[in-house]
Chain A
Amino acid sequence: MDVSMYTEIISALSATMRVSTPLILAAMAGIFSERSGIVDISLEGKLLAGAFISAAVAAVTGSAWLGLGAAIVATMLLSLLHGFASITHNGNQVVSGVAINIIVSGMTVVLGIAWFHQSGQTPSLPNTARFMPLHLPGSETIGNIPILGDIYTKILGGHNLLVYVAFLSVALTWWVLFKTRFGLRLRAVGENPNAVDTAGISVAWLRYRAVLIAGILTGIGGTYISIAQNASFIREMSAGQGYIALAAMIFGKWKPVPAMFASLMFGFLDALSIRLQGVEIAGIGQIPVQAIQALPYILTVAILASFAGRAVAPKADGVPYVKER
């Protein structure tokens, strides 16, 4: 095999891991929320808020961990806002979610300018205030094995902690949903809240817990975007990843492991599009950068239109629970 081709593949796969991380975290957040019956279009806004708060706090305190903690608190507060509108007051969940996205989009810039005077950006962080790549144990010895070594050190290893947290969150989501009492009730409330209510369980409290978990996961995802993948907050830096995560969740039929693979696929397309820029393709010539950048989105639409038409959402997803008279 061509050596440059081989390194291209390795680095594309390595990039896939990094690009997919926020998608996976946000998709898991979406699963918790929507399995409980609350449509969460505000994944996007929460990623952005998490990115901003973590970068801002890390810039001021110099601690990535404080940044992460503050981001989680902020996104949980946004989840409570979403819950207050859509659970307590039976509001329209899409409207509430869009409102949160708009608020966050504006507030991050306003607060960024007010606090840091850098036209909405946060100061560039030193490595000590970021989550830095880790080396897996035994990288030196295993790294020398051909192919397998590269897979271990460059694809599986060499990422920061939050990448592994994202993959761990998939296992945890699966375990919570399918192996615990809370998960059983959560799945039930998204399908038929009447059944949960008449079984003597509070529908509202269950749904609040679900959206709060979604808040935690998007907080981690947002933190990853600004202070692990990058070194500062830039306005609108979530760049639609919350929506892509929503698509991955639907494509994965609201199941953790398939949603993870869908996130990885979207991540791979993204990584590929970066690598395809400026590449000559036989018979077509050089493809415009814009067309390649649009590729993941076009494929998202195509995939959702062809496969996910058959995906069945939780029955009570998006429907406020009102006791019938």
Chain B
Amino acid sequence: MAPNDITSSDSTLAIDLRNISKSFGTVQANKHVNLKVETGTIHGIVGENGAGKSTLMSILYGFYEADEGEIHIFGKRTPIRNSSDAIGAGIGMVHQHFMLVENFTVLENVMLGAESGAMLARSITDAAAELDRLEHEFGLSVDKDALISDLPVGQLQRVEILKALYRGARILILDEPTGVLTPQETDQLFAILRSLREQGTTVIIITHKLREIMALTDHVSVMRQGEIVASRTTSETSREELAELMVGRKVRMTIDKAPAQPGDPLLRVENLSVHDHYGVARLDHVSLEVCAGEIVGIAGVSGNGQSELLDVLSGILPPGEGEVLINDHTVTPAHHTDPEQVRSYSVAHVPEDRLRRGLVREFMAAESAILGYQNASEYNGIFLTKPSAIINHSRHLMEAFDVRPTHPSLKSANFSGGNQQKLILAREMDPNPKVLLVGQPTRGVDIGAIEFIHKQIVAMRDEGSAVLLVSGELDELMSLADRIIVMFEGRIVGEVAAAEADEKMLGLMMANAHTPEPTLSTEEVPA
């Protein structure tokens, strides 16, 4: 090996990626990426979805192998072909989707792959001692003997961090770590990451949340279309500059909207309860009202009944108790109805899970664009469908909602997340529904598309639709909704006017640690 391989490397750099490229088929996910990360710093990587952040980190962690380029770790050229190479080089990764075995204990997950010997007994003793030490050193407390399936997400993330540290990671990569956390859990995570930095660990955090980049990182690199387009010292940049770099143009961070002009209630839910098959109440005496011309936001940590609420309102799930009034139609447990019937009441539903419920990935876009409306007479002849009518309709939707590429016969799966979402919104908004149910409209959607989607939702409101918006993004709820209702364990635990809401207050309500002022609560919350 040539001697300059070592001398040319800068040993203050924990990571030095040189000219990394990676293609998947015809898609070039990373183009000649150069990235330098200083030892003992927190380095942020931001970019829109599909900008190549996760691919780059997967290459660094050995999940994929780069087509070309060199990886230098702590000043030494280190070929990384698989995850065990990466672990050996001192790299740990916390994946966006946790890599944990659900029916194992915390301890078993931590030692998996890093056991002390062929017998488990010694591994268990060693791992328990090491976990105690890590808990002491970094304040990472977690119940070692708890089953993963019993732990909340915030704790699972700690387990992932512990896994990395247990393997002796000196470089920790976190992929979108805050997506599933409450604001309080996010604060705790950041405290942990800062204390790791103080102990000399290098942290790389991938996110699309610019506020977090500003709050946490020392340096930040921006990726766009597979390339690093800029690297900045965090203290010398701003959210606006980063956002601009991410999308390549100026973006507005707030939404212009006139105050709501609520009209008659179009959607009314009274004392609605739903139990799952274990008998656990998923919805617990929920009552709410959405009027024409207003957007009501539902906040809550995911899994607290929001999904079930959307399911009942859209007709997917029958109500257990209580009743739902939609446009003068009543849905009760004795007389419930199916989604098709609910659509006929002028209700449209943008489902939370785009890929599982919003469209069929294997269908072409034009087919996905009529799902739910496929029986309409304009698309059907006597025996056969009318392909040209379907294609034309789809093209019209795609043009109206700026879905790119404007290619109705392309497979739905081949559109980016943002464009898939725009197509679904177009489909649901096109019939001008009186009630629009929207779940996670901008989840996994890039900034440019978010802006567009928000404008369309506000436009629906201004045309007199009642909009119920479920979102995990507090920013989105606060800027888009007129009122925000907070759910916790299937109950409504508070309601605030969006103008008066702030993140901290909503966060506390989402964790049910905050009692809303009685004047703000319009519904009696049963104990």
Contacts and interface: CB of A to CB of B under 8 A. Distances in A.
Given A188-B104, A323-B63, A200 B113 contact: yes
Interface string A189-200: 001101111111
Contacts of B518: none
Q: Quick one: which of B86, B87, B103, B118 has the most chain A CB within 10 A? A: B103
A181 B123 contact: yes
A264 to B, nearest CB: 26
A184 B111 CA distance: 9
Interface stretch (B93-101, B317-325, B474-482): B93-101
B289 interface: no
Given A188-B104, A199-B112, A200-B84, A180 B120 contact: yes
A181 B115 contact: yes
B101 A188 contact: yes
A315 B119 CA distance: 25
A interface, over-half SS? helix
Contacts of B85: 200
Contact of A184 (B82, B88, B112): B112
A164 interface: no
Contact of B120 (A184, A201, A315): A184
B102 A184 contact: no
A182 interface: yes
Nearest to B163: A199
Contacts of B84: 200-201
B120 A195 contact: no
A182 B112 CA distance: 10
Contacts, number: 77
B114 interface: yes
Contacts of B111: 184
A192 B100 contact: yes
A197 B120 contact: no
B488 interface: no
Contact of A181 (B61, B95, B103, B120): B120
Q: Quick one: which of B61, B82, B101 has the most chain A CB within 10 A? A: B101
Interface in A298-325: 315, 323, 325
Interface string A134-160: 000000000000000000000000000
A121 B198 CA distance: 76
Contact of B95 (A183, A196, A198): A198
Nearest to B95: A198
A304 to B, nearest CB: 20
Nearest to B120: A179
B103 A191 contact: yes
B119 A195 contact: no
A181 B117 contact: yes
A195 B112 contact: yes
Nearest to A315: B102
Contacts of A200: 82-88, 113
A180 B108 CA distance: 12
B121 interface: yes
A130 interface: no
A325 B88 CA distance: 24
B153 to A, nearest CB: 16
Interface string B270-281: 000000000000
A197 B82 CA distance: 9
A185 interface: yes
Contacts of A191: 101-104
A199 to B, nearest CB: 3
A323 B58 CA distance: 11
Contact of B99 (A183, A184, A194, A315): A194
Contacts of B61: 198
A74 to B, nearest CB: 29
Interface of A: 178-185, 187-188, 191-192, 194-201, 315, 323, 325
17 contacts: A181-B117, A181-B118, A184-B108, A185-B112, A191-B101, A191-B102, A191-B104, A195-B99, A196-B112, A197-B83, A199-B87, A199-B114, A200-B84, A200-B86, A201-B113, A315-B102, A323-B64
